[in-house]
Amino acid sequence: MTLVSTRAIVDGARAAGTGALAFNVIHLETAEALVEAAEITGIPVILQISKNCVDYHGSMLPLTRATLEIAAASRAELSVHLDHLTDPAAIREGVEAGVRSVMVDHSALPYEENVAATAELTAWCHEREVYVEAELGKVGGKDGVHAPGVRTDPAEALAFIAATDVDALAVAVGSSHRMRERTAVLDHELIGTLSAKLPVPLVLHGSSGVSDDELTRAIAAGMTKINISSHLTRAFTRAIRATLEADPALSDSRVCFRSGRTAVTEEAARLLKLLGPLG
């Protein structure tokens, strides 16, 4: 099956009142695991490649091209999305490589600068039929918009969307990046207000710190795109650790990575069944 668009996955989930699951690709093994989860469940998946991942690999192209190829060869419905990109050159490089969905992240800038920079890149992307997600927030600690206590203002968000023409908006409703436990409590009333007032789908970042019940409630309140990374990374490393502890003499990294890949597939499939269109 050819790649599908992120717009189709997100708009389909929004219309159905379900979640559009976006899982981060860290390396080839996670890309393979996530594609397998989509194939097993029959539920669409957005494969995300973040700025941190690009920085880790030292280049946009090798992993992005590999992920596009793996997705295109699959029978599942998959899109590839670039996440939290702040450098216009990196966005252009990814689009030129074949990605048709990006997150333009200028949320750390003052509001007017965020609007101007986001609008310029959104216009460039739309000329190439590229879907654009953005983030609106205020500087508030290393997590910026997702620092504890930060909340998105509905009126400001509406004005931001009108000024930038973005296709989806990441909002601050109580989640935070890189949480080690799934203990975040979301502002479901605010989610409902934002969903009712804003003309574009809502995106929840930091979902790894949110429990199954809270995610289910968030989707019911109007959240659509659910980004999950650290939760699956922990599943991957736990499986590798257990494999090495069971056989300290093991030297074949493929055995370790296979166990990690399987763990990610199983947990991603569970989340898809819980939160996705067939959940």
Task: Return the active site residues.
Answer: 83
Residues pairing with 131 in the sheet: 101
The Cα 210–Cα 216 span in angstroms is 10
Q: From the CB of residue 187, how many other CB atoms can be counted at a distance below 10 Å? A: 18
The Cα 23–Cα 36 span in angstroms is 13
Tokens of 10: 């997100």
